[in-house]
């Protein structure tokens, strides 16, 4: 069925109004109309109001014989703090493909955290005339997935401290008897989840009374080392005062005081699990395998050891289904998962992409966005997400701006909230040419995966023809399949028409098989060093703590996992102020941690904040509601 039935013609204004004004000026189609254009049977989605629906994973069983469409990932050059418009470009490209080129198309995006929405960054629905709508629903509660993650994460956190508390005050026998209470027939029995721990311990017995005293102790006593606990509580609010807290200060906790802290919800490993899972059964296994810390003997303690893997899956059973929405021009969108792009892999979910690829079918397009620059988001998309999904992209779009290229060419510092220096507002081709070294490295790195690279120059009103031509020439010289100028922020899909044509040609003319940057069989250090070389580093330096962690994860059997580098997004190097395409530097690894359930090891390059703070003047000053219409105002 053609998507043209729900195409909406935009009446664009100049200058471009505020994002929320544009979003509120359009009446969205009922989401059942969007589903109908996809031939999506109502049995395969649940409505969440008029403009959102959860698409059920069971649709994959129905469509398993269908062929996939083309798969496109959108990354970017190393950004300024202002962002270069990857989300906006992703939406604009899809509007061009669907509303103007009459292709079946799906946009797959991450769900944004509410923290930045009320903090400094604002929302993440795109911008201008390339947006997902309703914009307020997209940026706020959506269908409750982040709330489910918060509840699941904090249930596990509560279980950890509670288990330490109970183990500290009970004998082995008392602890065992309470874990395996008698049933109505006065017989003790193991719950189903306990058999997972018994198997892990090598205890092949099915009746509690058959365990020896030594086996009772091994089974019942996790003996968690409080100093090894990596699991923190989360909330979806920017709150700097929760970064470091002390728990257990109540008199009933009997002195079980411990220092811990809160992360923002999207930094939870459960979010990364949701993004990388391939089925409900796979999610159950990943949640159960999450490691929260070690025993005092140095063995990893998992959510299943705590008896919680099944309960966590129950809390997440609806969150596993992606949310169907629409763009301003009526093309379909799947919004699902929103993992951090530094300590996690910064991509939307595998299941959303799989559903979308089946629904668009051969000749259709699924376009997904990878967080931060291509050195981070696109690298993790290829080496982590595609490794677990088995999916192969045909094209990668790299978004560039004249502003960012001037910065990489030696322009003055760009600071969020401060006016741009005149160098960014007046023609300076020399700065652009010098800064294009950053773009060239992103192109060559991304091409190495076997995809065709198309550069999308997100045009601003101050950009000149000479500057734009300079970028196009540099991109083609670096090996890009094509490089096109886009005005989708100001004109919607019409402004990304050339980009849509270039992406179509790039997908139709792939000549190489997909290649990963490294094989999983390499050691943890060898994989880290392969990624570091792609940044331009000549070597890697490990702290004593990093060396200790690498040895521990290798001993525990986790060295075969892919690597997820936690690094600044503002430079190829570890130093955010080093712009362009640096070479010859030594990359310092401060620490190494694991998201074992999600399925990756993440080295920390420098310090990573997992709980943002609020600025002096947060975005919430501008957010209110029109009490006459019920519409949200002031969202950015």
| Fold exhibited by the domain 146-314 | Domain 2, N(10)-formyltetrahydrofolate synthetase (3.30.1510)
Q: What are phi and psi of 583, to 5 degrees?
A: -140, 165
**Quick one: which H or E segment has residue 71?**
strand 70-76
Distances (CA, A) of 406 to 128, 403, 427, 429, 490: 23, 5, 10, 9, 22
CA 544/CA 548 separation, integer angstroms: 6
453-485 per-position pLDDT tens digit: 999 999 999 999 999 999 999 999 999 999 999
Are 146-314 and 524-604 equal in CATH topology? no
Q: Band the pLDDT of 183: cuts 50, 70, 90.
A: confident
pLDDT of 122 strictly over 80: no
Tell me the mean pLDDT in the region 132-151. Answer: 95
Q: Band the pLDDT of 116: cuts 50, 70, 90.
A: confident
Coil, strand, or helix at residue 5? helix
CA 286/CA 303 separation, integer angstroms: 10
Residues 105, 110, 115, 116, Cα dihedral to 10°: -60
Coil, strand, or helix at residue 513? coil
What percent of the chain is modeled with pLDDT above 70? Answer: 99
DSSP letters spanning 206-220: --GGG--HHHHHHHH
530: buried, middle or exposed (CB in 10 Å: 19+, 13-18, 0-12)? middle
pLDDT of residue 4: 44
CA 45/CA 148 separation, integer angstroms: 19
Which CATH number does 524-604 carry? Answer: 3.10.410.10
Best CA proximity match to 500, nearest among 99, 132, 101, 76 = 101
Task: Let me know: does 591 contact 546? Beta carbons within 8 Å.
Answer: yes
| Fold exhibited by the domain 4-144+318-508 | Rossmann fold (3.40.50)
Best CA proximity match to 308, nearest among 462, 106, 162 = 162
566-589 per-position pLDDT tens digit: 999 999 999 999 999 999 999 999
Per DSSP, the chain holds a count of helices (H) and strands (E) of 23, 24
Residue for token digits 């910064």? 346
DSSP letters spanning 394-412: SEEEEEE-HHHHHHHTTPP
Of the listed ranges 342-346, 349-353, 536-540, the one predicted with least confidence: 342-346
pLDDT of residue 484: 98
Structure tokens belonging to residue 259: 């220092």
Best CA proximity match to 598, nearest among 51, 165, 149 = 149
Structure tokens belonging to residue 526: 């060898």
pLDDT of residue 613: 93
Residue for token digits 């939307």? 348
**Quick one: which H or E segment has residue 438?**
helix 429-447
Positive or negative, the CA dihedral 178, 180, 183, 186 is: negative
Strand partners, 326: 133, 332
Output the average pLDDT for the chain: 95
Strands of 494-565, DSSP E: 539-542
CA 219/CA 175 separation, integer angstroms: 10
Tell me the mean pLDDT in the region 265-293. Answer: 98
pLDDT of residue 488: 98
Residues 297, 302, 303, 306, Cα dihedral to 10°: -30
pTM to 2 decimals?
0.96
Strand partners, 264: 235
CA 337/CA 347 separation, integer angstroms: 8
Report which DSSP code applies to 192.
Answer: T
Best CA proximity match to 351, nearest among 451, 282, 285 = 282
CA 575/CA 577 separation, integer angstroms: 5
For the chain, the structural domain boundaries read 4-144+318-508, 146-314, 524-604
Task: Let me know: does 563 contact 602? Beta carbons within 8 Å.
Answer: yes
For 357-375, b/e burial (b = at least 16 CB within 10 A) is bbbbeeebbbbbbbbbbbb
CA 443/CA 395 separation, integer angstroms: 12
CA 563/CA 129 separation, integer angstroms: 37
Q: Band the pLDDT of 5: cuts 50, 70, 90.
A: low
Structure tokens belonging to residue 194: 């306990």
Q: Band the pLDDT of 314: cuts 50, 70, 90.
A: very high
Of the listed ranges 109-123, 411-425, 458-472, 574-588, the one predicted with least confidence: 109-123
Tell me the mean pLDDT in the region 524-540. Answer: 98
pLDDT of 229 strictly over 70: yes
Q: Band the pLDDT of 36: cuts 50, 70, 90.
A: very high
pLDDT of 2 strictly over 50: no
Structure tokens belonging to residue 562: 């892919």
Q: Would you give the distance in Å from CA 89 to the centre of its chain?
A: 17
Tell me the mean pLDDT in the region 126-137. Answer: 94
Tell me the mean pLDDT in the region 407-427. Answer: 93
């Amino acid at each position: 069925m053609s998507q043209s039935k729900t195409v909406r013609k935009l009446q664009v204004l100049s200058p471009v109004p505020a994002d929320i004004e544009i979003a509120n000026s359009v009446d969205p189609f009922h989401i059942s109309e969007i589903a109908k254009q996809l031939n999506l049977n109502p049995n395969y989605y649940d409505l969440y109001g008029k403009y959102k629906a959860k698409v059920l994973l069971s649709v994959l069983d129905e469509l398993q014989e269908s062929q996939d469409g083309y798969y496109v990932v959108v990354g970017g050059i190393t950004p300024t703090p202002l962002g270069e418009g990857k989300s906006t470009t992703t939406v604009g490209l899809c509007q061009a493909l669907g509303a103007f080129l009459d292709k079946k198309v799906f946009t797959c995006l991450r769900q944004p955290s509410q923290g930045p929405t009320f903090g400094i960054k604002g929302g993440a629905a795109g911008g201008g005339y390339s947006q997902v709508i309703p914009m307020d629903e997209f940026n706020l509660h959506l269908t409750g997935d982040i709330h489910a993650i918060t509840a699941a994460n904090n249930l596990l956190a509560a279980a950890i401290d509670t288990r330490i508390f109970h183990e500290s005050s009970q004998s082995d026998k008392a602890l065992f008897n309470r874990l395996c209470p008698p049933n109505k027939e006065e017989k003790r029995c193991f719950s189903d989840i306990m058999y997972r721990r018994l198997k892990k311990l090598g205890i092949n017995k099915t009746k509690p009374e058959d365990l020896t005293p030594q086996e009772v102790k091994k089974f019942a006593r996790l003996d968690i080392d409080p100093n090894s606990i990596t699991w923190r509580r989360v909330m979806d609010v920017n709150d700097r005062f929760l970064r470091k807290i002390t728990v257990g200060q109540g008199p009933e906790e009997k002195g079980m005081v411990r220092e811990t802290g809160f992360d923002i919800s999207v930094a939870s490993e459960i979010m990364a699990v949701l993004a990388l899972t391939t089925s409900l059964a796979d999610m159950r296994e990943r949640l159960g395998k999450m490691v929260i810390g070690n025993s005092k003997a140095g063995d990893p303690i998992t959510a299943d050891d705590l008896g919680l893997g099944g309960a966590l899956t129950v809390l997440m059973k609806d969150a596993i289904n992606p949310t169907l929405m629409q763009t301003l021009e009526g093309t379909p969108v799947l919004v699902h998962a929103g993992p951090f792009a530094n300590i996690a892999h910064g991509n939307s979910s595998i299941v959303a992409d799989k559903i979308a690829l089946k629904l668009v079918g051969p000749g259709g397009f699924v376009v997904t966005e990878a967080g931060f620059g291509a050195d981070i988001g696109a690298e993790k998309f290829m080496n982590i997400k595609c490794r677990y999904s088995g999916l192969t992209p045909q094209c990668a779009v790299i978004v560039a701006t004249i502003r960012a290229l001037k910065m990489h060419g030696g322009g003055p510092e760009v600071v969020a909230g401060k006016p741009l220096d005149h160098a960014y507002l007046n023609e300076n081709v020399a700065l652009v040419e010098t800064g294009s070294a950053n773009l060239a490295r992103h192109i060559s790195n991304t091409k190495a995966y076997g995809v065709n690279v198309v550069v999308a120059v997100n045009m601003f009103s101050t950009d000149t023809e000479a500057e734009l031509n300079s970028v196009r020439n540099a991109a083609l010289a670096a090996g890009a399949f094509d490089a096109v100028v886009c005005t989708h922020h100001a004109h919607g899909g019409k402004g990304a028409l050339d980009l849509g044509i270039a992406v179509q040609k790039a997908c139709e003319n792939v000549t190489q098989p997909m290649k990963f940057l490294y094989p999983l069989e390499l050691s943890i250090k060898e994989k880290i060093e392969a990624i570091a070389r792609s940044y331009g580093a000549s070597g890697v330096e490990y702290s004593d703590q990093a060396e200790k962690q690498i040895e521990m994860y290798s001993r525990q059997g986790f060295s075969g996992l892919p690597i997820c580098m936690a690094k600044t997004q503002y430079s190829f190097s570890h130093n955010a102020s080093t712009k362009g395409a640096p070479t010859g530097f030594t990359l310092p690894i401060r620490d190494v941690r694991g998201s074992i359930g999600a399925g990756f090891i993440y080295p920390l390059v420098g310090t990573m904040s997992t709980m943002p703070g609020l600025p002096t003047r947060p975005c919430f000053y501008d957010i209110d509601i029109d009490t006459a219409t019920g519409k949200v105002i002031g969202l950015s």
